[in-house]
Amino acid sequence: MAAHILAATLPIGEHWWVIGPSGSLWNIHMDTVIMSLLAAAILLLLGLYIRTHVTYAAPSRMQNAVEATMEFINGIIEDNLGRSPGTIASIALTLFFYIWVMNLIGLLPIPYFHSPTADVSTTFALALLVFVLMHIRYIQTSGLGAYRGHYWTRGFKAIVLNPVSVLLTVVTELSRPLTLSFRLFGNILAGEILLIVAGSLLPLEAAVVANVLINPLILAFGLFVGTVQAFIFTVLTVAYMAIASESAEAH
């Protein structure tokens, strides 16, 4: 019961709505889908609210916070991609705010609410999106011929070197989405585990006291971790896009 008061409402790694056979790789975690759509709805509503309340005279604290965050991330994007990053800036900013909202949903003391990013399916889908966009950016920058040459070249020496080169390149490319997804998944899941551990270690009589004193500290730590992880995912995305934006000779 103390764990429920501390907002830990589900056993670790379990889902309250799963479509598909139990234990199958192709299961659809509908609870994660719902939480992801909820995060998108929250972000959309916040965006509409801020847009209708934008002012140059005396901006609100929310407007100041959003503008400061956008300017900070835009600065990082411009440092890596130049003054004309194209659609990458919009993608990076959207990823940051979307991941940030998803990270924070699991901190709400509402039954059956959990962070979508505490499900590896969500984080891998986001990392796969970045992976695809990175290769599209590389083709747009250097062309399809240079992209093919990045994996396979011609010539007598290539007969021996190509298999090794392709293997190493594939391992390098696949490691990027894997590290992106598992880093975000592991840190957000760890935050939810912290809530469960804090609740299970306390006796029932101390649950009310814990909710007043300890829970705010844990939630503040979760807010910090969620913000940092969203920022790290965005920065790595920008860094990968910067690598893909270089000419073929620079690779």
pTM of the entire predicted model:
0.79
Residue 10 scores a pLDDT above 90: no
SS3 state at 29: strand
The two three-digit tokens of residue 168, written as one number: 């190493």
Give the integer Cα–Cα distance in Å for 233 and 248: 25
Give the integer Cα–Cα distance in Å for 61 and 67: 10
Q: Which of 133, 137, 138 is nearest to 151 (CA)?
A: 138
Q: Which of 52, 53, 34, 30 is nearest to 42 (CA)?
A: 34
Banded pLDDT at 199 (limits 50, 70, 90): low
Domain boundaries, the chain: 2-250
pLDDT, position 6: 39
The two three-digit tokens of residue 125, written as one number: 């889908």
**In degrees rounded to 5, what are phi and psi of residue 18?**
-125, 130
Task: Give the percent of the chain with pLDDT over 70.
Answer: 73
pLDDT, position 155: 55
Residue identified by tokens 């309250």 is: 16
Across 178-185, average pLDDT: 89
Q: Which of 82, 126, 101 is nearest to 236 (CA)?
A: 126
pLDDT, position 55: 78
Between 167 and 205, the more confident residue is 167
Banded pLDDT at 152 (limits 50, 70, 90): low
SS3 state at 19: strand
- Summarised one tens digit per residue, pLDDT across range 78-103 is 787 766 666 778 888 899 999 999 99
pLDDT, position 221: 80
The two three-digit tokens of residue 96, written as one number: 């940051």
SS3 state at 131: helix
Between 209 and 40, the more confident residue is 40
Across 156-178, average pLDDT: 72
Across 20-46, average pLDDT: 84
Between 182 and 17, the more confident residue is 182
| Maximal CA-CA distance, the chain | 77
SS3 state at 13: coil
Banded pLDDT at 9 (limits 50, 70, 90): very low
pLDDT, position 238: 87
